[in-house]
Structure 1
Amino acid sequence: MIGVFDSGLGGLSVLRSVRDMLPGQDLLYLADSAYCPYGPRPLVEVQGRALAIGRWLVAQGAAVVVIACNTATSAAADLLRAELPVPVVGMEPGLKPAIAASRSGRVAVLATSGTLGGERFASLVDRFAGGAQVLTVACPDLVGYVEAGDLDGPEVRAAVVGYLAPLLAEGVDSLVLGCTHFPFLRPLIAELVGPAAAIIDTGPAVAAQVARVAAGSARGVGALRCVTTGDPAEVAVSLARVWGGPLPLSWASVEI
């Protein structure tokens, strides 16, 4: 079984990529909705939540743990790799492919403050930016819209326009979706930018890495189970909107 977690529903974008690539694997997804979003939380708190969830997933039988959250990866990937007895796969914004796709040399990373302010992201920029101009935009409110299942309403549309218009005016032609919530807004973003900018989502690349890591683990029957630390009745409504249909959802207690 592969265990996948995020602060909320954003990691479902990664889960879908993993499921598409590994349809025979059993998957367990945990949305830490009671603590969503991770972005504005203190580093030590995100580390504590990530480690507790990682241990919980291993206790449920996970042979691989996937941190389907850029903020949690930045804060706690090294910690989980040191503490958990199974392989851990994390996320990082797709800066390298974004720069490769850019003609103007101007790329933008849309993410949370927790991701953009982390040492892991700073290292990413140092390694791959080269002569490119990397603009960073913290978009914490977009997480809230996705968590509410609002992917195309007037408020989220206005928010996305507010983020994108200045970037396009500055000649940005490559956009990195640096939060796993944002791929659910990709149709809206693509509509608004048209052919003016490439849109980079690292979910498929993460799924490919999961496939490599999980190659030696026992295969399942393709079962999919979702749990949340929040109120399942409330989370289920948004989950169905984001996923495109209902999924079985139950409550899980994960204490630090």
Structure 2
Amino acid sequence: MPSDTFTHNTNAPIGIFDSGVGGLSIAKRISEHLPNEQLIYFADSQFAPYGDISNQQIIERVNFIADTLITKQCKAIVIACNTATVNAIDQLRNRVTLPIIGVEPAIKPAARISTTQKIGILVTQATANNARFLALVEQYKNGAQVFIQPCLGLVELIEQGLQTSDKFIHLLEQYLAPLIAQGIDTLVLGCTHYPFMSEAIKKIMPSGIELIETATPVSEQLKRQLIKHHLLAKKTSNLAHQFYSSSETPTQNKIFSQLWGTSINVELYK
């Protein structure tokens, strides 16, 4: 394992990773919220979605990517993946000393704003079955009814840039139907891929349903940690964010660029 000694270089990059493109929803918010920070984004596309691999495999991939980002002198790491967070963040924090920020479904704010006290959470299968996640639901639901909906297949389609396809919409309708039937008024997007389907959700759900995602809370927590450890970047210019993937496809650059909002080049890293 590479040395994880704290860097005191305030202009060192921030490492962000996900099983695929979903974490771009987090990275994009961080780039907006902390415009002086350089970002290194790692998509573990070869193993996406993490919901389809074992807990041990998730831990192995998280540790490999964290070690890679440490080798690249990152000053902090954001696990921009709900499944990776609930399965592997505790052991990673025991392995390394630099700040590790995870992402978890925003159950607490959802319970605070729900008037019907009926909350839906869209998650991957691995998150739905995770004991840490289920404990968080119990801890923060504040008496609300919480309906957990696993969404098999959605991540794979988003990875292919097919979130507006008929197949995707049909699948999404199937997953939202039982939540609509329960009368939820708040819907938590419990996977970082899911903000990319927000518009599709709004067209299917009744008006007035509040969508809750975690990009802003994660970027705010990252900023707090950087300030705490005196690592907030000084004003810089010509920031060059870097994007890596563990797999290479003909459409990868196009999909990344579409979700990021500007043209980017994704490099292969295995």
User: Do the structures match in fold with TM over 0.5?
Assistant: yes
Instruction: Measure the CA separation in 2 of the matches of 1:218 and 1:206.
Output: 15
Instruction: Measure the CA separation in 1 of the matches of 2:181 and 2:87.
Output: 33
Structure 1 partner of 2:24: 12
- Give the structure with the larger helix fraction: 1
Task: Give 2:45's aligned amino acid.
Answer: S
Tell me, yes or no, if the aligned pair for 2:111 and 2:142 is still in contact at 8 Å. no
Task: Give 1:41's aligned amino acid.
Answer: I
Q: Deviations over 1:192-246 (max 9, x none)?
A: 2242311000111001111111222162543211000001544223212322332
Tell me, yes or no, if the aligned pair for 2:15 and 2:40 is still in contact at 8 Å. yes
Q: What is the 5 A alignment of 1:113-192?
A: 113-192=125-204
Choose which of 103, 111, 116 in structure 2 pairs with 1:104: 116
For residues 35 and 46 of structure 1, do their structure 2 counterparts lie closer, same or farther at Cα, with a shift above 3 Å needed?
A: same
Choose which of 241, 252, 256 in structure 1 pairs with 2:269: 252
Task: Give 2:241's aligned amino acid.
Answer: L
For residues 129 and 218 of structure 1, do their structure 2 counterparts lie closer, same or farther at Cα, with a shift above 3 Å needed?
A: closer
Q: What is the 5 A alignment of 1:72-87?
A: 72-87=84-99
- Cα deviation, residue 57, structure 1: 0.3
The alignment of Structure 1 onto Structure 2 pairs a total of residues equal to 253
- More deviation in 239-248 or 77-86? 239-248
Task: Give 1:249's aligned amino acid.
Answer: V
Structure 1 partner of 2:38: 26
Task: Give 1:173's aligned amino acid.
Answer: D
Instruction: Measure the CA separation in 2 of the matches of 1:35 and 1:203.
Output: 23
Provide TM-score, normalisation by structure 1. Answer: 0.94
- More deviation in 25-34 or 230-239? 230-239
Structure 1 partner of 2:245: 228
Q: Deviations over 1:146-179 (max 9, x none)?
A: 1011222211111111111221121111100000
Q: Does 1:41 align with 2:61?
A: no
Instruction: Measure the CA separation in 1 of the matches of 2:97 and 2:68.
Output: 12
- Cα deviation, residue 131, structure 1: 2.0
Instruction: Measure the CA separation in 2 of the matches of 1:212 and 1:232.
Output: 36
Instruction: Measure the CA separation in 2 of the matches of 1:94 and 1:77.
Output: 17
Choose which of 213, 217, 239 in structure 1 pairs with 2:231: 217
Instruction: Measure the CA separation in 1 of the matches of 2:64 and 2:95.
Output: 11
Provide TM-score, normalisation by structure 2. Answer: 0.90
Cα-Cα RMSD: 1.4
- More deviation in 28-37 or 228-237? 228-237
Choose which of 39, 42, 56 in structure 1 pairs with 2:68: 56
Q: In structure 1, list runs of 5 or more residues that go unmatched.
A: none
Identity over aligned pairs, percent? 34
Q: In structure 2, list runs of 5 or more residues that go unmatched.
A: 1-12
Instruction: Measure the CA separation in 1 of the matches of 2:47 and 2:114.
Output: 36
Q: Does 1:95 align with 2:107?
A: yes
Structure 1 partner of 2:212: 200
**SS of residue paired to 1:195:** coil
Instruction: Measure the CA separation in 1 of the matches of 2:250 and 2:243.
Output: 13
